[in-house]
């Protein structure tokens, strides 16, 4: 929470000489600027001041000018058409991607402030997905008004393509939930009816027994025909494609036991296994459901291309500039990009020079200087502007789209570990079916009356449970245990790959280091004691990352005294502060032609006409848990490596501090891939950890990959595991859990094998009555499940709230 | 044992009802977002009915 010297709304330090206050919930609170004042007053006026008590992170500073421009563009019906869905009867619906939902209080604030608008019919905010679904009456309010209202409270919203409204995923997850619950209820009821038969045995009347069997059939039928339909559909699909997937043995087992039990119920003689089959379906579905939720959640955290490329561009025409939708942009058009704007398409710079932040593409933090004629890449952020650019490539031809394609190709080349397990299960089922057939034939020769029940006993005692549950039970438990630690597993066999990985390849920028720069060293010279405050005052005038790092220091500034500000691209800022002419920036710029002390060559300098006042060195700050993570991984006998596109000196410094021995600097994505291939050729199994888009091919090409959720979005689409809350220290714990999971899967398999080897022959020779077969099967599955529940019990789950971990970083990002 | 003839259909009726209620809940967005609503009631002490 902001203290007394910070803005009550956005948490930034208060500028000196600024005295703005707003009455919030009965008390006067200090504000840093008119924007925050407006936001706070608006929130108070709506009666939503409780937001301040509930929030876990400071609010956003509204950026009125930029938002105003964006909202005007949505006035254009042509642009707005594809983001609005007409629900008929005058209602319209839109899906908004809302930037900066940080805590539940944000959700509450957004829902309430939008609902207060006349004409808004419903608002649904999903914090995990950062999305809001808004319905409104077109006769009373329009979309731009709604976006403006959001902007007033400090949230920037981007309408998503209306096709997102007919969310296939939503249907998928609803469907899965229904199937799961039907199977659960069915299993409970079937078990109840069956246990009466097992416990009471022959003491109950035959007619009651008969009734209980038919009841078992009644409750198991929806489980088989409704809940288990996914397995049948999946099996059919993979058979049609001439493959044997995991669904095939499962579907076969379900169908065989169900049909056998159905015949027995019909004949009224042998045993029925409706309880076993319902339980089997329930456990399998539970595993798949959790896996699906983890997958959806990881996808939700991101909306890759929507955020990387802007929806509009300012195209030059005869009478100035006109805002057009991206789809209207053609090669050869001239577009204008404003300062802080995102380059809409690949093109050539027409202006003199500019600086762009290509971090999303190259993953590296330092902005790149471009001069006339240089190529600009779609998705990069303009640090100073505005500039003109001539469009060279649009849409699917851009470099960004090519990276996405590269990711897709690397995915296709991935060795599929799953196949081995599925083949084994397929072979096992084939053998069981053979043994069942042999049993039936053998008994048919000696004693035909017992043939059917013996065959069913073999099928039940061996077929589905222990073997089929060994993997899903352990994986389900592991997925849950990992999710609680902020580790979302997108691809289930990533658990196996993670456990078996031998090398960890880290990216540097944004992975081992914080995504934002920080001030490393201030060297003050001369008399001026408040050099840092003067520097912060100047730095606030620039968007350069180094300036942001200086401005982010919490020392206050003197906004009211600043005049004659001018920003010199690539050099620095100059301004008059309290009558002194100050310059902040590169050494030669700050000294304005006078000789520069060589010791200060690599520093950012603050100087006035008399000479240098202070020197600043900016450094990437290591993540607090980086060294501990590397240590923990090494303690697990992993080889830790690092690759970065940065200069060797910077990489070496980081490597030394986290104690990574092997690293490569100036590595382009292709170099990293080559290194990866080299390592893998040497027998290593590589775990890649990264966050920039240039990592995407590397992440996709590694044996298993982990992405940090605050990083660029595309990476997550191509990574197997996503870390939320940017906590690296979860990696070692996750690997522990993965290894434990594999160990338990192996134990489960061994146990199932021993059980089957001892029970199947007995069943085949008719020594085991079918009811004992059913009990044996239930007990063996119970053993498997209880064993799986041990996963993640040993290590204490780290209870640090994700919000607490992200707050300082998020704070700096807005500062 | 005749009581079974009453109790079992009754339990099945309950079961059917429970499944029906659950399906209704799923179809009415009750399981869409399990994280967000947790904190909302805490601040609902005054003013404003929820929208709709």
pLDDT tens-digit profile of A771-793?
676 667 667 777 877 888 888 77
Asked if A493 and A472 sit in the same domain, the reply is no
Asked if A354 and A266 sit in the same domain, the reply is no
Asked if A445 and A373 sit in the same domain, the reply is no
Task: Tell whether the model's pLDDT for residue A795 goes beyond 60.
Answer: no
**How far apart, in Å, are the Cα atoms of A380 and each of A398, A653, A778?**
12, 27, 58
Output the CA angle A619-A623-A628, nearest 5 degrees. Answer: 130
Note which residues in 154-173 of chain A have CB less than 8 A from chain B. Answer: 170
B15 to A185: CB separation less than 8 angstroms, yes or no: yes
A634 in any annotated domain: yes
A32 in any annotated domain: yes
Domain-terminating residue out of A103, A135, A166: A166
Asked if A111 and A193 sit in the same domain, the reply is no
Q: Would you state the pLDDT for residue A809?
A: 34
Nearest to A410 by CA among A722, A738, A683, A672: A672
A568 in any annotated domain: no
pLDDT, greater one: A445 or A409: A445
B43 to A122: CB separation less than 8 angstroms, yes or no: no
A211 in any annotated domain: yes
Asked if A495 and A473 sit in the same domain, the reply is no
> How confident is the model over A52-69, as a mean pLDDT?
63
Name the helix (H) or strand (E) containing A282: helix A274-300
pLDDT, greater one: A442 or A145: A442
Asked if A292 and A326 sit in the same domain, the reply is no
Q: Would you state the pLDDT for residue A622?
A: 80
Catalytic site residue A507? yes
The pTM score is: 0.55
CATH number at A115 reads 3.30.70.100
What percentage of chain A carries pLDDT values higher than 70?
67
Per-residue pLDDT reduced to its tens digit, A410-455 = 433 333 444 555 566 667 767 777 888 888 898 888 887 777 777 7
Closest-CA distance of chain A to residue B51, Å? 6
Q: Would you state the pLDDT for residue B13?
A: 94
Q: Which of A188-197, A238-247, A313-322, B17-26 is predicted least confidently? A: A238-247
**How far apart, in Å, are the Cα atoms of A641 and each of A474, A701, A759?**
30, 16, 49
Contacts of B19 in chain A (CB under 8 A): 181-182, 185
B8 to A205: CB separation less than 8 angstroms, yes or no: no
Q: Which of B1, B15, B36 sits opposite A127 (nearest CB)?
A: B36
Position of tokens 């288990």? A228
Q: A105 CB near a chain B CB, below 8 Å?
A: yes
Name the helix (H) or strand (E) containing A615: strand A611-622
Rounded to an integer, what distance in angstroms lies between the CA atom of residue A469 and that of residue A655? 44
Q: Would you state the pLDDT for residue A797?
A: 41
Contacts of B20 in chain A (CB under 8 A): none
Rounded to an integer, what distance in angstroms lies between the CA atom of residue A322 and that of residue A73? 10
Q: Would you state the pLDDT for residue A712?
A: 46
A189 to B15: CB separation less than 8 angstroms, yes or no: yes
Closest-CA distance of chain A to residue B48, Å? 9
Name the helix (H) or strand (E) containing A139: none
Q: Which of A108, A170, A185 sits opposite B43 (nearest CB)?
A: A108
A768 in any annotated domain: yes
User: What beta strand segments (E) does A229-326 contain?
Assistant: 312-317, 320-325
**How far apart, in Å, are the Cα atoms of A571 and each of A140, A547, A587?**
50, 11, 9
Q: Would you state the pLDDT for residue A76?
A: 61
Output the CA angle A375-A376-A377, nearest 5 degrees. Answer: 120
- Residue A486 in contact with residue A723, Cβ under 8 Å? yes
Range of the domain at A683: 487-514+624-738
Of the residues A50, A51, A102, A219, the best mutation for testing chain B's interface (the one with the most B CB atoms within 10 Å of its CB) is A50
Rounded to an integer, what distance in angstroms lies between the CA atom of residue A391 and that of residue A412? 32
Structural domains in chain A (count) = 5
Whole-number average pLDDT of chain A:
74
Q: If you average pLDDT over each of A225-229, A544-548, A680-684, which comes out highest?
A: A225-229
Q: Is the peptide bond before A386 cis (omega within 30 degrees of 0)?
A: yes
Q: Would you state the pLDDT for residue A560?
A: 56
Name the helix (H) or strand (E) containing A722: strand A721-723
Asked if A497 and A448 sit in the same domain, the reply is no
Choice among A507, A646, A703, A720 that is catalytic: A507
For residue A594, how far is the Cα from the chain centroid? 51
Confidence grade of residue A812 (pLDDT, cut at 50, 70, 90): very low
Domain-terminating residue out of A675, A709, A738: A738
Rounded to an integer, what distance in angstroms lies between the CA atom of residue A320 and that of residue A282? 64
Q: Would you state the pLDDT for residue A407?
A: 46
Domain-terminating residue out of A104, A131, A166: A166
- Residue A547 in contact with residue A815, Cβ under 8 Å? no
Closest-CA distance of chain A to residue B41, Å? 10
Q: Would you state the pLDDT for residue A17?
A: 64
B36 to A182: CB separation less than 8 angstroms, yes or no: no
Q: Would you state the pLDDT for residue A218?
A: 92
A814 in any annotated domain: no
Closest-CA distance of chain B to residue A51, Å? 8
Q: Would you state the pLDDT for residue A58?
A: 66
CATH number at A725 reads 3.40.50.1000
Task: Tell whether the model's pLDDT for residue A715 goes beyond 70.
Answer: no
Q: Which of A116-120, A337-341, A409-413, A620-624 is predicted least confidently? A: A409-413
Confidence grade of residue B14 (pLDDT, cut at 50, 70, 90): very high
Q: Would you state the pLDDT for residue A178?
A: 94
Confidence grade of residue A682 (pLDDT, cut at 50, 70, 90): confident
CATH number at A364 reads 2.70.150.10
Asked if A85 and A153 sit in the same domain, the reply is yes
Contacts of A47 in chain B (CB under 8 A): 46-48
Buried/exposed code over B32-51 (b: 16+ C-beta within 10 A; e: otherwise): bbeebeebbeebeeeeeeee
- Backbone region of residue A7 per phi and psi (left: phi > 0; alpha: psi in -120 to 50; beta: other values): beta
A57 in any annotated domain: no
Structural tokens at position A99: 């930037």
Asked if A219 and A265 sit in the same domain, the reply is yes
Asked if A258 and A285 sit in the same domain, the reply is yes
> How confident is the model over A342-364, as a mean pLDDT?
73
Contacts of B35 in chain A (CB under 8 A): 127-128
Asked if A175 and A258 sit in the same domain, the reply is yes
> How confident is the model over A222-230, as a mean pLDDT?
93
Asked if A176 and A244 sit in the same domain, the reply is yes
Name the helix (H) or strand (E) containing A35: helix A34-45
* C-alpha torsion sign, points A77, A82, A83, A89: positive
Name the helix (H) or strand (E) containing A319: none
A540 in any annotated domain: no
Q: Would you state the pLDDT for residue A418?
A: 46
pLDDT, greater one: B1 or A338: A338
Count of CB atoms within 10 A of residue A764's CB?
A: 22
Name the helix (H) or strand (E) containing A494: helix A494-500
Q: Would you state the pLDDT for residue A767?
A: 77
Per-residue pLDDT reduced to its tens digit, A500-538 = 899 999 887 678 877 666 676 777 776 555 777 777 777
A vs B: CB pairs below 8 A: 70
Q: Which of A44-53, A419-428, A481-490, A737-746 is predicted least confidently? A: A419-428
């Amino acid at each position: 929470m902001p203290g007394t010297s910070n803005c009550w709304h956005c948490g930034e330090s208060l500028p000196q000489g600024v005295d703005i206050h707003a009455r919030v919930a009965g008390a006067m609170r200090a504000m840093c600027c008119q924007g925050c004042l407006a936001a706070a007053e608006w929130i108070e006026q709506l009666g939503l001041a409780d937001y301040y008590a509930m929030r876990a992170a400071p609010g956003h500073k509204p950026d009125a000018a930029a938002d105003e421009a964006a909202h005007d563009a949505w006035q254009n019906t042509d642009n707005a058409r594809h983001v609005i869905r007409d629900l008929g009867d005058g209602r319209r619906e839109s899906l908004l991607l809302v930037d900066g939902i940080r805590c539940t209080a944000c959700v509450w604030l957004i829902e309430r402030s939008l609902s207060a608008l006349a004409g808004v019919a419903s608002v649904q905010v999903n914090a995990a997905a950062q999305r809001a679904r808004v319905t409104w009456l077109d006769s009373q309010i329009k979309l731009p008004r709604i976006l403006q209202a959001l902007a007033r409270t400090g949230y920037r919203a981007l309408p998503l393509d209306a096709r997102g409204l007919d969310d296939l995923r939503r249907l998928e997850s609803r469907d899965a939930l229904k199937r799961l619950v039907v199977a659960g209820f069915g299993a409970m009821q079937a078990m109840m009816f069956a246990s009466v038969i097992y416990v009471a045995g022959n003491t109950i009347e035959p007619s009651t027994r008969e009734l209980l069997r038919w009841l078992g059939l009644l409750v198991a039928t929806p489980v088989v025909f409704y809940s288990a339909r996914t397995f049948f559909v999946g099996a059919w699909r993979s058979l049609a494609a001439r493959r044997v997937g995991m669904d095939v043995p499962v579907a076969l087992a379900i169908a065989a036991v169900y049909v056998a039990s159905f015949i027995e119920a019909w004949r009224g003689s042998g045993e029925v296994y409706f309880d076993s089959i319902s339980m089997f379906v329930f456990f399998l579905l539970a595993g798949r459901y959790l896996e699906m939720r983890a997958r959806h959640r990881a996808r939700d955290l991101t909306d890759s291309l929507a955020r990387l490329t802007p929806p509009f561009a300012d195209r030059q025409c005869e009478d100035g500039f006109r805002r057009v939708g991206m789809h209207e942009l053609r090669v050869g058009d001239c577009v204008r990009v404003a300062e802080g704007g995102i380059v809409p398409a690949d093109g050539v710079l027409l202006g003199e020079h500019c600086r762009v932040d290509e971090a999303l593409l190259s993953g590296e933090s330092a902005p790149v200087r471009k001069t006339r004629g240089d190529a600009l890449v779609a998705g990069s952020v303009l640090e100073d502007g505005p500039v003109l650019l001539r469009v060279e490539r649009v849409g699917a031809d851009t470099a960004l789209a090519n990276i996405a394609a590269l990711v897709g190709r690397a995915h296709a080349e991935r060795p599929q570990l799953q196949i081995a397990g599925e083949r084994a299960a397929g072979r096992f089922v084939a053998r069981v079916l053979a043994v069942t057939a042999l049993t039936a034939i053998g008994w048919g020769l000696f004693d035909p009356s017992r043939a059917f029940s013996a065959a069913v006993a073999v099928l039940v005692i061996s077929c589905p449970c222990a073997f089929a549950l060994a993997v899903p039970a352990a994986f389900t438990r592991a997925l849950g245990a990992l999710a609680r630690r902020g580790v979302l597993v997108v691809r289930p066999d990533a658990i196996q790959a993670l456990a078996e990985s031998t090398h960890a390849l880290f990216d540097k920028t944004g992975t081992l280091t914080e995504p934002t720069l920080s001030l490393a060293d201030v060297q003050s010279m001369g008399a001026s004691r408040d050099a840092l405050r003067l520097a912060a005052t100047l730095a606030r005038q620039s968007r350069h990352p180094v300036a942001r790092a200086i401005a982010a220091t919490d020392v206050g500034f003197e906004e009211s005294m600043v005049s004659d500000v001018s920003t010199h691209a690539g050099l620095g800022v100059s301004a008059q502060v309290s009558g002194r002419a100050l310059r902040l920036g590169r050494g030669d710029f700050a000294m304005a032609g006078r000789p520069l002390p060589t010791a200060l060559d690599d520093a950012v300098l603050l100087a006035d006409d008399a000479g240098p006042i202070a020197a600043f060195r900016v450094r990437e700050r290591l993540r607090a848990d980086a060294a501990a993570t590397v240590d923990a991984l090494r303690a697990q006998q992993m080889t830790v490596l690092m690759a970065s596109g940065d200069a060797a000196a910077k990489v070496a410094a980081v490597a030394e501090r986290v104690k990574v021995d092997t690293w490569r600097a100036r590595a382009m994505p292709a170099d990293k891939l080559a290194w990866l291939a080299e390592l893998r050729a040497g027998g290593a199994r590589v775990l890649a950890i990264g966050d920039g888009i240039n990592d995407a091919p590397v992440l996709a090409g590694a044996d298993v990959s982990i992405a940090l959720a605050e990083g660029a979005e595309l990476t997550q689409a191509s990574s197997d595991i996503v870390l939320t809350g940017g906590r690296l220290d979860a990696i070692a714990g996750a690997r522990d859990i993965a290894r434990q999971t594999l160990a338990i899967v192996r134990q489960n398999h061994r146990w199932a094998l021993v059980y089957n080897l001892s029970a199947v022959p007995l069943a085949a020779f008719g020594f085991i009555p079918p009811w004992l077969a059913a009990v044996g099967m239930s007990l063996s599955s119970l053993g498997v499940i209880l064993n799986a529940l041990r996963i993640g019990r040993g290590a204490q789950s780290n209870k640090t709230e994700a919000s607490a971990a992200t707050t300082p970083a998020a704070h700096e990002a807005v500062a | 044992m005749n009581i079974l003839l009453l109790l079992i259909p009754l339990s099945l009726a309950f079961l059917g009802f429970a499944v029906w209620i659950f399906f209704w809940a799923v179809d009415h967005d009750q399981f869409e977002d399990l994280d967000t609503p947790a904190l909302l009631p805490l601040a609902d002490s005054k003013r404003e009915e929820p929208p709709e």
